Amino acid sequence: MILSAADIRDLIGSDPVLKLLARIKIVDGKPPAEAGTGVAIYIDRYPAPLEFEVSWKIWLVDFDNEPLDIVVEQLRKLLPRLRVISTGVITELQITELKTENTQLRPSEKPNTSGLSFDVFEKRFQELVESIQDRMLLVGPGKAGRDGRDGANGRDGLNGKDIEATNTELGDLKNVDTTDAKEGQFLMFDGASWVARFIPQIFNYASGSSGGISEAPVDGNYYVRQDGNWIELREAINNLNLDGGNFNT
């Protein structure tokens, strides 16, 4: 018993004559428009359902003007219920068999839901919104909550005063202390505020004296400086050539 297009293909393919003369294909619907050689036998994949039977269509395509009579006769031997529907460039045949629960029929097509329009979804959405709003109207107001305690009062801040940039002095700023400022001092940040300080003095000390000037000889004489050197005071006076005049006059 034939239950599918595969059964027909296997039956035809088992015949050595048809296997030599033709090639066999299973197609969905009519045979495709293609080039080829020899004879091609196309079998419809799914049969047409009747009341108690099913029928498959078979097409013969002769590409090289081969004698199709031999092919048809060999098919009649394999398929006794085969009959010719039409002849021409393409010869159409039909095979009929009893329908059983195992016969492979075309699967039923699922309903197409992709055709739903946007208006349908928008309508459903609006209905959902209205349903939610109706439910909210049925809910009564909730119980009022208890009042919380008042917080403690904070500390009062210092009184402020408005300033104008053109009339503001440096000491008016809150982190600047100029109370004991003196001439020649500058503002220095001590880590908390700006305070008045003198510029640190840096001295060089060499040979125990300041400024790099060496000590005068320690020999009991008096010395003065000339041209960066120490000279005895007596020698300095002699070099001046001072005239003491007449002591009596």
**Whole-number mean pLDDT of the chain?**
79
**Which domain-ending residue is among 80, 98, 116?**
98
What is the band of 25 on the pLDDT scale with cuts at 50, 70, 90?
A: very high
Query: Quick check: is 52 in a domain?
Result: yes
Q: Range of 218's domain?
A: 205-239
**Which amino acid is it at 29?**
G
3-state secondary structure of 96: strand
Q: Which of 98, 132, 160 is the last residue of a domain?
A: 98
Please provide the DSSP assignment of 50-74 as one string.
-SSEEEEEEEEEESS---HHHHHHH
Give the rounded percent of residues in the chain with a pLDDT score beyond 90.
Answer: 29
Which of 108, 107, 109, 105 shows the shortest CA–CA distance to 97? Answer: 105
For residue range 155-196, list pLDDT tens digits in order.
776 676 666 667 777 677 777 777 777 776 777 777 778 887
Q: Which strands sit side by side in the sheet containing 194-197, from one edge to the other?
A: 176-177, 194-197, 186-189
Do 38 and 135 form a contact (C-beta atoms < 8 A)?
no
Domain assignment present for residue 80? The answer is yes
Higher pLDDT, 19 or 190: 19
6-13: average pLDDT:
93
**CATH for 75:** 3.30.2000.10
Determine contact, residues 127/80, Cβ cutoff 8 Å: no
Backbone angles phi, psi at 244, to 5 degrees: -75, -15
CA–CA distance, 81 with 78 (Å, rounded to integer): 9
Query: What would the mean pLDDT of 220-224 be, rounded to a whole number?
Result: 83
CA distance 217 to 223: 8
141 in a structural domain: no
The percent of residues in the chain predicted with pLDDT above 70, rounded, is 78
Does the residue 229 lie in any domain? yes
Domain-located, residue 161: no
pLDDT at 181: 79
In the chain, the N- to C-terminal Cα span, in Å, equals: 176
pLDDT at 154 over 50: yes
Q: Would residue 245 count as lying in a domain?
A: no
Over residues 70-90, the pLDDT tens digits come to: 899 999 999 999 999 998 888
Residue 152: pLDDT over 70: yes
Work out the pLDDT band at 4, boundaries 50, 70, 90.
very high
pLDDT band with cut points at 50, 70 and 90 for residue 209? very low
How many domains does the chain contain in total? 2
Q: Of 72, 98, 124, which residue sits at a domain end?
A: 98
Specify the pLDDT at position 202. 40
Give me the mean pLDDT over the 33-40 stretch: 85
Residue among 86, 102, 111 at smallest CA distance from 47: 102
- Give yes or no for residue 113 having a pLDDT over 60: no
Under 8 Å between Cβ of 197 and 184: no
Tell me whether residue 26 is in a domain.
Answer: yes
Residue 90 falls inside a structural domain: yes
Instruction: Write the pLDDT tens digit of every residue in 85-110.
Output: 998 888 999 999 999 999 999 988 76
Position with higher pLDDT, 154 vs 97: 97
